[in-house]
Homo-oligomer: A and B are copies of this chain.
Amino acid sequence: MYPAVDTQIERTLYDQDVRYTEGRRQVVAALSAADGPRSAGELVAELAAPLPLSSIYRTLAVLAAAGVVVPHYSTKGLTRYELAEWLTGHHHHLVCAECGTVEDVEIPDAFERELRALVSGIGEHAGFSPTSHALEIEGRCEGCS
């Protein structure tokens, strides 16, 4: 985990009067160590010390409200979370159609710029105001192919 990220989160939470407790640090550490979004259930297994599911859900809700983590809705009704892009950098997702795992991927800057331009252009469509975009690439991961 990058100490810089931890410091940024510490400050963000402090500014919002949200406590950065031990349990919340654990969850952040696990998300930071992951190479993609994680569900509450997946996190219990990856935490240094296992926390009750309800605490993980509450922690994720708090961190999401604070803008530190972002939810992604995936297969089987699972909600997976990852650190927000202002902490980890902008990226997209490789979604395995077989096993449902999600992996982060970055795309070339030049293309990213075009994508951004296109997305803001969409704003004209039906009065929609875009705030962000996400490209999901579906396919088969290494393990499932």
A interface residues with partner B (beta carbon < 8 Å): 73-75, 77-79, 94, 96-97, 103, 105, 107-108, 111, 114-115, 118-119, 122-123, 125-142, 145
In the complex, which of the residues B111, B118, B129, B136 contacts A139, with contact meaning CB atoms closer than 8 Å? B129
| Contact yes or no, A118 B111, CB < 8 A | yes
In the complex, which of the residues B75, B111, B135 contacts A134, with contact meaning CB atoms closer than 8 Å? B135
In the complex, which of the residues B97, B118, B133 contacts A138, with contact meaning CB atoms closer than 8 Å? B133
A144 to chain B: closest residue by CB:
B129
| Contact yes or no, A125 B94, CB < 8 A | yes
A103 to chain B: closest residue by CB:
B126
In the complex, which of the residues B127, B133, B137 contacts A137, with contact meaning CB atoms closer than 8 Å? B133
Supposing A73-B75, A75-B73, A145-B127 touch, asked if A122 and B136 sit within 8 A by C-beta, the answer is no
Q: Please indicate the chain B residues that have their CB under 8 angstroms from the CB of A145 in the complex.
A: 127, 129
Q: Please indicate the chain B residues that have their CB under 8 angstroms from the CB of A107 in the complex.
A: 118, 122
| Contact yes or no, A122 B138, CB < 8 A | no
Question: How far apart are the CA atoms of A130 and B139 in the complex, in Å?
Answer: 4
Q: Please indicate the chain B residues that have their CB under 8 angstroms from the CB of A137 in the complex.
A: 119, 122, 128, 130, 132-133
Supposing A74-B73, A77-B79 touch, asked if A132 and B138 sit within 8 A by C-beta, the answer is yes
A126 to chain B: closest residue by CB:
B142
